[in-house]
Amino acid sequence: MNAGSGAAEPEPAPALELRAIEKRYPGGVRANAGVDFTLRRGEVHAIVGDNGAGKTTLMKVACGLVRPDSGSIFRAGERRLYPTPRHALADGIAMVRQELRQPEHLSVAENVVLGAEPVDRLGLFDVRGAEARTEELADRFGWRLNPRARLATLSVGDRQRVEILRAVHRDVRVLILDEPFSALGTAGRESLREGLRAVIKDGTSVVVVSHKMREVSRMADRVAFMRAGRVTNVLADSGEIAKLREAPGDFTADSMATRGRDTDSPALLSVRDLRAGREGGGAALRGVGFTLCNGEIVGLAGVGGNGQRELVDVLTGDRPAAGGTIRLRGVSLLGKARRAIRELGVGYIPADRGLNGVAESESISDNLIVSRHRFSPFSRLGWLNHRAARSLAGRLLDEFGIVAADVEAPVSSLSGGNAQKLILARELSARPELLVAEQPTRGVDAASTRAIRKRLRAERSRGLSVLLVSSDTEELLALSDRILVLYDGRITATLDELSSLSEADLGRYMVGLASEGASA
Domain contains 369: no
Q: What is the pLDDT of residue 254?
A: 37
Determine contact, residues 283/277, Cβ cutoff 8 Å.
yes
Domain contains 393: no
| DSSP per residue, 24-49 | EETTTEEEEEEEEEEE-TT-EEEEEE
CATH number (domain holding residue 23) = 3.40.50.300
| Same domain? 194 vs 289 | no
| Same domain? 209 vs 298 | no
- Residue where one domain finishes, among candidates 246, 267, 298: 246
H/E stretch holding 479 reads helix 473-479
Q: Give 462-479 pLDDT, tens digit per residue.
A: 999 999 998 888 889 999
- Residue where one domain finishes, among candidates 223, 246, 269: 246
C-alpha 318/C-alpha 316 separation (Å) is 6
E-strand stretches of 378-463: 379-380, 383-384, 434-438
E-strand stretches of 262-382: 267-277, 283-293, 297-301, 323-328, 331-332, 346-349, 379-380
Q: What's the chain's average pLDDT? A: 86
CA of 449: how far to CAs of 211, 277, 444, 455, in Å?
Answer: 10, 34, 6, 10
The residues pairing with 24 across neighbouring beta strands, listed in sequence order, are: 30
With b for 16 or more beta-carbon neighbours within 10 A and e for fewer, the 140-167 pattern comes to ebebebbbebbbebbbbbbbbbbbbbbb
Range of the domain at 114: 16-246
DSSP state of 203: T
| Same domain? 163 vs 188 | yes
DSSP state of 500: T
Q: Which residues contact 352 (CB under 8 A, 6 or more apart)?
A: 99, 100, 156, 159
Confidence category of residue 7, pLDDT binned at 50, 70, 90: low
**Is pLDDT above 60 for 519?**
no
DSSP state of 482: E
Q: Decide: residue 8, CB within 10 A, 0-12 exposed, 13-18 middle, 19+ buried.
A: exposed
Domain contains 477: yes
C-alpha 87/C-alpha 64 separation (Å) is 7
| Same domain? 85 vs 217 | yes
**Rounded percentage of the chain residues whose pLDDT exceeds 90:** 49
Report how many domains make up the chain.
2
Residue 412 Rama label (left phi>0; alpha psi -120 to 50; beta): alpha
| Same domain? 189 vs 283 | no
Domain contains 476: yes
| Same domain? 339 vs 467 | yes
C-alpha 262/C-alpha 266 separation (Å) is 9
When pLDDT is averaged across residues 447-474 and rounded to a whole number, the result is 90
Q: What is the pLDDT of residue 262?
A: 55
C-alpha 492/C-alpha 515 separation (Å) is 6
| Same domain? 98 vs 232 | yes
H/E stretch holding 156 reads helix 156-169
Can you say whether the dihedral through the CA atoms of 340, 341, 345, 348 is positive or negative?
negative
**Rounded percentage of the chain residues whose pLDDT exceeds 70:** 92
Confidence category of residue 263, pLDDT binned at 50, 70, 90: low
Q: Give 199-236 pLDDT, tens digit per residue.
A: 888 889 999 998 888 888 989 999 999 998 999 999 99
Q: What is the pLDDT of residue 252?
A: 44
SS3 481: coil
| Same domain? 210 vs 235 | yes
Confidence category of residue 412, pLDDT binned at 50, 70, 90: confident
C-alpha 145/C-alpha 413 separation (Å) is 34
C-alpha 393/C-alpha 404 separation (Å) is 11
E-strand stretches of 412-470: 434-438, 465-469
| Same domain? 234 vs 259 | no
Sheet holding 93-96, edge to edge: 93-96, 174-178, 205-209, 44-49, 222-227, 230-235
Q: What is the pLDDT of residue 2?
A: 52
Q: Give 180-205 pLDDT, tens digit per residue.
A: 887 677 777 888 888 888 888 888 99
Q: What is the pLDDT of residue 388?
A: 83
Q: What is the pLDDT of residue 257?
A: 43
More confident residue, 115 or 38: 38
- Residue where one domain finishes, among candidates 198, 229, 246: 246
Flag whether the pTM goes above 0.85.
no
Estimate to the nearest angstrom the gap between the alpha carbon of 507 and the chain centroid: 19
Q: What is the pLDDT of residue 381?
A: 66
| Same domain? 225 vs 315 | no
Q: Give 8-18 pLDDT, tens digit per residue.
A: 667 789 999 99
CA of 182: how far to CAs of 178, 309, 449, 455, in Å?
Answer: 9, 17, 12, 20
Q: Give 87-116 pLDDT, tens digit per residue.
A: 999 999 999 987 777 888 899 999 999 989
H/E stretch holding 235 reads strand 230-235
With b for 16 or more beta-carbon neighbours within 10 A and e for fewer, the 256-288 pattern comes to bebeebeeeeebbbbbeebbbebbeeebbbeeb
Residue 134 sits at φ, ψ, to 5 deg, of -65, -45
| Same domain? 76 vs 200 | yes
**Is pLDDT above 60 for 80?**
yes
| Same domain? 228 vs 310 | no
Domain contains 392: no
Q: Give 417-437 pLDDT, tens digit per residue.
A: 888 899 999 999 999 999 999
Domain contains 382: no
Domain contains 163: yes
Q: What is the pLDDT of residue 133?
A: 95
The length of the chain is 520
Nearest-10 Cα torsion for 337, 365, 52, 246: -50
Determine contact, residues 280/505, Cβ cutoff 8 Å.
no
Q: Within 13 A of 300's CA, how many CA atoms are on the CB side?
A: 27
Q: Give 304-337 pLDDT, tens digit per residue.
A: 778 998 999 999 999 999 999 999 999 999 989 9
Confidence category of residue 409, pLDDT binned at 50, 70, 90: confident
Domain contains 363: no
Q: Which amino acid belongs to residue 275?
A: R
